[in-house]
Structure 1
Amino acid sequence: MKPIIGVTMHSSERKFEINDTYIQAVLQAGGIPLCFPHITTGIEEFISKIDGLLLIGGHDIHSKFFGEDPIPMQGMVIEQRDESDFQVLQAALKRDLPVFAVCRGHQVLNVALGGSLYQDIPSQVNGAIQHAQKSARHEKIHRVVVKEGTQLFELIGSEVWTNSFHHQAIKEVGDGLMVTASTSDGIIEAIEHPDYTFCLGVQWHPEELAIKQDDASLTLFKAFVDACQK
């Protein structure tokens, strides 16, 4: 039986949606994607029916969830999505289900465990490089250096070139999380939690690269789906 991967979704006025690249990346890795809307009830029942959780990218996280007022550069927030992502994530961690968190999902993982964010990299981080690329989504825009002795290092090696579509980033790291990769300007690009079977967050978008047969990106999705199979 192929593992069932619960996949979060975007929302806009009166509809839920998801980029097809997430679905294709899960399928390529051997999983069955089960996309679900924002939920705050019936979460335990839902979690009991999946083998792993994929937290996808999307809008900004409301600054109130890490104890700050919004600065002028904060983008669109959807509080219902924040609440759903946090609650589903906590339920998944409680069961030690494998979690793979991408871009916004990487930030959700950090905030859910007590961390905080830069609300806007260009205005809050001196010397920041470009993190919101203007190139096509599959183009690799900057280098990420990976720390030795981490799960991420074992999977993809010491460095990787990645795509990048964010203006927020991890500031204070959440409880129990390890920083596993960063860019030359010090922005945290990956985190993992060693107390769980598989709990990994990346700030870039490997789903866009996986469908282009990028080795490192495919490796991440396959490792996640393999962990869900066990």
Structure 2
Amino acid sequence: MKPVIIGISGSILVNKGDTFSGYKRAYVNQDYVESVLRAGAIPFIIPFNEDLEITKLMVEKVDGVILSGGHDVEPSNYGENPLMKIGEVFPQRDDFDMTIYNTAIELKKPIFGICRGFQIINVVNGGTLYQDLSYADFVKLKHDQRDNPAQVTHSVELEEGTFLFDILGKNAKVNSFHHQIVKDVANGFKVVAKSPDGVVESIQKIDEDTFVIGVQWHPEMLSSTYKDFQNIFDEFVKIVEKRKNM
């Protein structure tokens, strides 16, 4: 049986402060690559580009997709103007990630969204975001820990009968690096996890033709230290393999 190939959406890193200042590099964080490798799959970086037809062809070559983290989602994608506290946006990458998502859905390939990728999943399906935590008056916890990505901070409560419940159980502690959160959950998606102050931390849509999960935290940054978070990647790869061979 051929190994499973997992496509990881890439971004652009602009070099600063040395001989090649301003030079653009295609990249993903190494944690994504290593998490996929430990799960027994082949990681394939889908490099950011603005030729959406080429992007579609690249998605055709992989068996499943991870939508990685990064910039804020441009608010026009969910019908809003930018507010004062929005962070840096990258509209061209929004188009790129949404093309990856839509192509994978059309081809019935499983999708795993992480942080920004989770937000992209919500937005591309008609959901909305709070552009900053301060715009949601119910938020009480610190959702941007800012330090030590391999450290868990706040807890989440998971819904029984969901993909992640079977891996993490009823309660888990996660890391947290975000200043935007889900406002309106996209139609057709089930809320999988929430933090104690009510922030949506995970959603899923799973049926015969579709397997989509998204998490607001960064399990790839925890997977080398915490077995449960590596298990998310392990089980995702198993799903990809099973659906590939259906």
Shift in alpha-carbon separation, 1:172–1:123, aligned structure 2, 3 A? closer
TM-score, scaled to structure 2: 0.89
- Structure 2 letter corresponding to 1:17: Y
Q: In structure 2, do the counterparts of structure 1 residues 83 and 141 end up closer, same or farther at CA, with 3 Å as the change threshold?
A: same
| Amino acid in the other structure paired with 2:13 | S
1:161 is aligned to 2:162: no
* Alignment correspondent of 1:49: 61
Local SS of the residue matching 2:203: strand
Take 1:223 and 1:197, find their aligned partners in 2: how far apart are those partners?
Answer: 16
Computing the radius of gyration from Cα coordinates, the structure with the larger value is 2
What CA distance in whole angstroms lies between the structure 2 residues aligned with 1:210 and 1:186? 25
* Shift, 1:135, TM fit: 2.8
Structure 1 unmatched runs, 5+ = none
Identity %: 37
Structure 2 residue 208 is the aligned partner of structure 1 residue 207: no
Q: Which amino acid in 1 is paired with 2:46? A: F
Partner SS, residue 140 of structure 2: coil
Contact 2:139–2:199 (Cα < 8 Å) also in 1: no
1:34 pairs with 2:41 = no
Please state how far the C-alpha of 1:45 moved relative to its aligned partner: 2.1
Deviations 1:55-101 (A, max 9, x none): 11111000000000011110010111000000110110111111111
Name the structure 2 match of 1:59: 71
Q: Distance in 1 between matches of 2:161 and 2:7?
A: 29
What's the counterpart of residue 235 of structure 2? Answer: 223
In structure 2, what is the Cα distance between the partners aligned to 1:48 and 1:113?
A: 21
Cα distance between partner residues in 2 of 1:95 and 1:125: 40
Comparing 192-201 and 113-122, the one that deviates more: 192-201
TM-score normalised per structure 1: 0.95
Deviation at 1:37, TM superposition (A): 1.8
Structure 2: where are the runs of 5+ without partners?
A: 15-23
| One-letter identity of the residue aligned with 2:230 | L
What residue identity is the alignment partner of 1:99? I
Which of 72, 83, 95 lines up with 1:83 in the alignment?
95
CA distance in 1, matches of 2:166, 2:230: 14
Q: Does 1:16 align with 2:26?
A: yes
Which deviates more, 142-151 or 9-18? Answer: 9-18
Deviations 1:136-189 (A, max 9, x none): 000001001001121221222101100000001111011211101000111000
Instruction: Tell me how far apart the structure 1 counterparts of residues 13 and 140 of structure 2 sit (CA, whole Å).
Output: 30
Q: CA RMSD in A?
A: 1.3
In the alignment, the residues of structure 2 paired with residue 96 and residue 72 of structure 1 have an alpha-carbon distance, to the nearest angstrom, of 38
Measure how far apart 1:211 and its partner are: 1.5
Aligned: 1:184 with 2:196:
yes
TM superposition shift of 1:192: 0.3
Structure 1 residue 12: Cα displacement:
3.4
Of the structure 1 ranges 29-38 and 180-189, higher mean CA displacement relative to structure 2 is found in 29-38
Provide the secondary structure at the position in 2 that maps to 1:27: helix
Deviations along 1:16-57, one digit per CA (max 9) or x if unpaired, are: 221111110010011111102224122332222100000111
C-alpha separation in 1, matches of 2:66 and 2:101: 9
Name whichever of 147-156 and 76-85 sits farther off.
147-156
User: Structure 1 residues 47 and 127 mapped into 2: Cα distance closer, same or farther (>3 Å)?
Assistant: closer
2:211 corresponds to:
198
Q: Following superposition of structure 1 onto structure 2, how do residues 105-144 of structure 1 map, counting pairs within 5 Å?
A: 105-144=117-156
The total of aligned residue pairs comes to 229
Cα pair 2:143 2:176 within 8 Å, conserved = yes
- Give, as a single letter, the amino acid of the residue that structure 2 aligns with 1:216: D
